[in-house]
Structures are given as structure tokens and as C-alpha cells.
Amino acid sequence: MSSDVRFTDFKSDKQPTWCPGCGDFGTMNGIMKALANSGNDPDNTFVVAGIGCSGKIGTYMHSYAIHGVHGRSLPVAAGVKLANPNLTVVAAGGDGDGYSIGAGHFIHAVRRNVDMAYTVMDNRIYGLTKGQASPTSREDFETSTTPEGPQQPPVNPLALSLAAGGTFIAQSFATDHKRHAEIVQQAIEHDGFGFVNVFSPCVTFNDVDTYDYFRDNLVDLADTDHDPTDYDAAKDKILDSSKEYEGVIYKDESSVSYEQKFGVTENMSDIPSGAPDDAMDLVREFY
């Protein structure tokens, strides 16, 4: 790792095609800053993205990366990390990607607690498919496929994470650049699954959950006496639907990552040029 890495080193020369003003710009810049600030460089960083406007993030960054199929970035990211624990792994995607088609993987990735960061660009809508309801859309949020709103309560991803045994649960706001980068950096540095739900407004299809809305309703936990290591306090914040919280909401300081627990510490790309020396023992077991 070189110490002179700048966050722009994580930028690819491909120009983003996001709508001007999309929250995803800020989200991405924050992730790049967090990576640089935590001492990574593109050659030891692996970014795994989902599908959606949010999923394009891997394309606009420079690192080892996979742009996978819809909803399945988390198992891919876990596979990368377990095969080479020396890498810094960041998974990213949208609220549809993570909490709808990928909801099963989300819960299991939280439980598995592989050491990586997961940033969800939550715009409370499907952007890429042009404005349908997402699992975080409000009950009465009218869209092309839900003219009267989904009429189902939105999922609370923070609560899902806490219930599944999450060891790091945070929320940030794409345009609070410095704060967002700080929070993501903490997620990267956490030993285990660092989950950050990022408010990343869609300026094209969502006229409810806008920058103004978040600015007006956001409470930065740094301005309160919230103690993220206090499980009950975290639970109260997570279940409080009257406000939108920014900051690290819960952090289990005794978290032990999956790799540590199972002793998966080797870079698996190094293998001998033939069968292992003692491989005939594998045959003899069948006597």
C-alpha cells in the first residue's frame, strides 16, 4: 500500500452517465475518499456492484471490480474476500438491488459478517427502470406501477440488519461529503460486515425524498449523546420513524469477522503446480 494514494486514483476515466444532480455522485466520491483515507490503493481494492443506476458505480471507479447480476453483489463480495483476505472489499448497490431482489443475501451477509463494507444508495425508488416503487418507498408514494402507492410499509433496512445480528449499522447522506466519507471509512475499518445505508436522492423520479427533505429531517448522531456501542439505544434510534438519522448507529466492538472465526486467512490464488504432496493420503482414506 502506498501512502501517497489520492482519492482521485480511484476514479476511472469513464464519465458517469448519472443524471446531473444524482446523489450517486456524492456517494461514490465518499467511498473513494474513504478508501484512500484508510490507506488502500486500487490494486488491493475490490469493488462489487449490483444492477441499477447505483450499480454503475463500479464502472466509474478504478480498482479491481465486478459489476454483477441484479441483487447478488454480496455473495460475490464475500467470495472475493474469502479467497483473498488481503483485499479491501466494498459492495455497493441500490435499495431495490439490496432490499428487494437481494434481500435474502442481505440478511445472510449480515449474519455471515465477512469483513467488508456494504453501501446502499437508497433513493427510495427504482431509478434505472424509470421510476417504480422500491422496498423503501413510502406507502403512499405514487409511481407508474403503484398509482396509489405500494400500500405496504417500507422495509427498514437498519432494523433488518440489527435483527440479523449486524455488527456495524450506519446511515449517511450523499451530499454531506466529509461526514459520509468518515462513516464509510469506519465501515471499511470495522472488523466484519460494515453496513451503510446512504441517502442518495434520485432527482429524476423521486420528488418526495429529496435533498431538501433529508436536509430538513436529518439528525446527525454526532450532535447527540448517542453511544453506538449501546445496543438498546441503537434499537430505539432504528425503530424511531419520526426522524432520519445520520452516523454510526450501532457498532459491536466485540465483532469477530467470518474469516477470523474460521481461520480463512490465506490468499487462495497461490497453489502448487501439481497435486499436494500428501494427496495420496486422500486416496488411502478410502481403504
Partner 1 sequence: MPADFNWAIGGEAGDGIDSTGKIFAQALSRAGRHVFTSKDFASRIRGGYTAYKVRTAIDPVQSVVDRLDVLIALTQRTIDENLDELHEGSVIIYDGDRSTMADVEIPEGMIGLDIPLKALAEEAGGAIMRNVVALGAACAVADFPIENLDSALQKRFGGKGEAIVENNKKAARAGLEYVHEEYDHEYDYDLETTDNDYVLLNGDQAIGMGAIAAGCRFYAGYPITPATDVMEYLTGRIERYGGHVVQAEDELAAINLALGAARAGARSMTATSGPGIDLMAETFGLVATSETPLVIVDVMRSGPSTGMPTKQEQGDLNMMLYGGHGEIPRFVVAPTSISECFWKTVEAFNMAEKYQVPVYVAADLAMAVTEQTFAPEVFDMDKVEIDRGKVVDDDSIDEWLDEKGRFQPHALTDDGISPRAFPGTEQGAHMSTGLEHDELGRRTEDTEMRVKQVDKRDRKVETAKATEDLSPREFGNPDSDKLILSWGSNEGALVEALDFLEEDGVDVRFLSVPYMFPRPDLTEDIEAADEVIVVECNATGQFANVVEHDTLTRVKRINKYDGVRFKADELAEDIKATLDAEEDSA
Which C-beta is closer to ligand TPP: that of 71 or that of 166? 71
Q: In whole angstroms, what is the distance from residue 155 CA to residue 134 CA?
A: 9
Q: How far apart are alpha carbons 176 and 74 in whole angstroms? A: 26
Distance in Å, CB of 144 to partner 1, minimum? 25
The rounded distance, in Å, linking the Cα atoms of 67 and 37 is 24
Closest CA to 120 of 155, 44, 172, 163: 172
Q: Which grid coordinates are listed for 106?
A: 442481505
Judged by beta carbon distances under 5 to 8 A according to partner kind, the member of ligand TPP, ligand SF4, partner 1, none in contact with residue 126 is: ligand TPP
- Return the residues of window 44-63 that contact ligand SF4 according to CB under 6 A: 53
CB 111 → partner 1: shortest distance, Å?
9
- Of 149, 154, 190, 155, the closest CA to residue 170 belongs to 190
List the one residue from 10, 99, 193, 205 that touches ligand SF4 (CB under 6 A): 205
Nearer to ligand TPP, 123 or 185 (CB): 123
Which element (helix H / strand E) includes 73?
A: helix 73-83
Query: What sections of 171-210 are H helices per DSSP?
Result: 177-189
Encode 53-74: b = buried (16+ Cβ within 10 Å), e = exposed: bbbbbbebbbbbbbbbebbbbb
Q: Which does 83 bind (CB under 5 to 8 A by kind): partner 1, ligand TPP, ligand SF4, none?
A: partner 1
Cell of 263: 481461520
The one of ligand TPP, ligand SF4, partner 1, none whose footprint includes residue 134, by CB under 5 to 8 A per kind, is ligand TPP
Which of partner 1, ligand TPP, ligand SF4, none sits in contact with 146, Cβ below 5 to 8 A by type?
A: none
> Which entry of ligand SF4, partner 1, ligand TPP, none binds 282, CB below 5 to 8 A by partner kind?
partner 1
Number of residues in contact with partner 1, rule: CB under 8 A? 56
The binding site for partner 1 (CB under 8 A) comprises 12-14, 42-46, 48, 58-59, 62-69, 72, 74-84, 86-87, 104-105, 108, 262-264, 266-269, 271-276, 279-280, 282-284, 286-287
